[in-house]
Structure 1
Amino acid sequence: MPRLFTGLEIPEDVAFDLFLMQGGVSGARWIHRDSYHITLRFIGDIDDALAREISLELEGVAARPFRLQLAGCGVFGGNKPHALFAAVEESADLRRLQFTHERICQLLGLPPESRKFAPHVTLARLKDPELRSLHGFLASHSLYRSRPFDVDRFVLFSSRPSRGGGPYAVEEFYQLQAGL
């Protein structure tokens, strides 16, 4: 039974810049740069037949290539932070693509995603982080901006059930079509 999700890959040079940020936060388990991605839709553990149906439906997604940029850093978890991330600048094209993935999953019988879509790249998982070092990291990277990068495909990823995810494997990729 595969554990699947759809997402966008991060260009190597942008991933390297994010990798250089690692460090200085007590209680952080840093994500390997090969695992950086932007999740579009977590699908979860499903049977092979449903995985094939989802893959077929994703082939029919009609979307144009677009540009993205990462901007700033933040945490999930409020007063008990559990993840440190690089944020994604607002993009209507990204939101449309994510909505299409959500709609496909629901049409194939999966429950709606319970969390609001908040595009990001997870940099570290946090366990009882030392708040002073975490706030220092956030302050020193608040003005971070990646170079703008082109998104010309999305990916169906698989992962093994593990703490914090990864390593991830590309099961399929789907090209976005210029001229739509």
Structure 2
Amino acid sequence: MPRLFIALEIPADVASELTLHRGGLSGARWIEAPDYHVTLRFLGDVDRRTANEVDAMLSDITAYPFQITLDALGSFGGDKPRAVFARVQPTKALTDLQGDIERQMRRIGLPAEGRKFVPHVTLARLRDTAPAEVAHHLGLHPIVRPIAFTARRVALMSSRDSVGGGPYVLEAAYPLGPCYPNRLPREMRR
């Protein structure tokens, strides 16, 4: 069974810029730049039937391309930091897309996502890193100018069962917007 998640990919030039914030943090396992992404919905281990239903649902997405802006670094975990991330400014287009995907996943029988959607790009996973050290690192490596790009497609990705952080495999991509031949409503594709 593949372990799947739905995400927005990070363009190579943006990923390269994010790598400038790497290094100098003990206990950090830095994510490789090609594996950077914004997770919209984690699916987990699913059977082939469910994977096919997810594929069909993603083929019918009606969202248009929209801007993503990364504006700050942060960490998850509070007193026990577990990750360093680049924050994604929430926008109506992003939250609408994520909400639509969540509703569709519940419609095909997947359980509701247990965590609130906090858009971000994970840069490092942390292990036994002191909160003060994380705070110091974040202070030394701020995102000075927001980094923006246009999200043009949604990706269905897989990962091997591991501690996290890749490598990830692009299983399928679904362009946003009506200008692609595969964007016709399902009934008209026959």
TM-score (norm 2): 0.90
Q: 1:167 — aligned with what?
A: 167
Which residue does the alignment assign to 1:18?
Answer: 18
Aligned residues: CA RMSD? 1.3
Match of 1:118 in 2: 118
Whole-angstrom CA distance in 2 between matches of 1:178 and 1:151: 14
Q: Distance in 1 between matches of 2:87 and 2:141?
A: 11
Identity of aligned residues (%): 49
Query: Counterparts of 1:52 and 1:178 in 2: how far apart (Å)?
Result: 22
Match of 1:65 in 2: 65
Larger Rg: 2
Task: Determine if contact 1:74/1:84 at 8 Å carries over to the other structure.
Answer: yes
Unpaired stretches in structure 1, ≥5 consecutive residues: none
SS at match of 1:16: helix
Letter of the structure 2 residue corresponding to residue 157 of structure 1: M
Amino acid at match of 2:110: L
Please report how far the alpha carbon of residue 100 of structure 1 lies from its aligned counterpart in structure 2 after TM superposition.
Answer: 1.1
User: Larger deviation: 165-174 or 109-118?
Assistant: 165-174
Structure 2 residue ranges without an equivalent (≥5) = 180-190
| Contact 1:66/1:152 (<8 A) preserved | yes
Tell me, in whole angstroms, the C-alpha distance in 2 between the residues paired with 1:28 and 1:79: 16
Asked if 1:147 corresponds to 2:150, the answer is no
CA distance in structure 2 between the aligned counterparts of 1:103 and 1:130, rounded to whole angstroms:
38
Residues of 2 paired with 1:143 and 1:125: CA distance? 19
C-alpha contact (below 8 Å) 2:72/2:146 kept by paired residues? no
Structure 2 counterparts to residues 38-77 of structure 1, below 5 A: 38-77=38-77
Distance 1:25 1:70, change over 3 A: same
The equivalences for 1:70-89 within 5 A come to 70-89=70-89
* Alignment partners' CA distance in 2, 1:60 and 1:20: 37
C-alpha distance in structure 1 between counterparts of 2:172 and 2:97, whole Å: 16
Match for residue 157 of structure 1? 157
Superposition deviation, residue 147 in structure 1? 2.9
1:115 shift after superposition: 0.3
Q: Structure 1 residue runs of 4+, over 6 Å off?
A: none
- Does structure 2 retain, via aligned residues, the 8 Å contact 1:24–1:133? no
Correspondence 1:30 to 2:39: no
Paired amino acid for 1:9: E
- Per-residue CA deviation, residues 36-57 of structure 1 (Å, 9 max, x unaligned), is 0000000110101110011011
Amino acid at match of 2:32: H
Amino acid corresponding to residue 96 of structure 1 in structure 2 = D
Report deviation, 1:104.
1.0
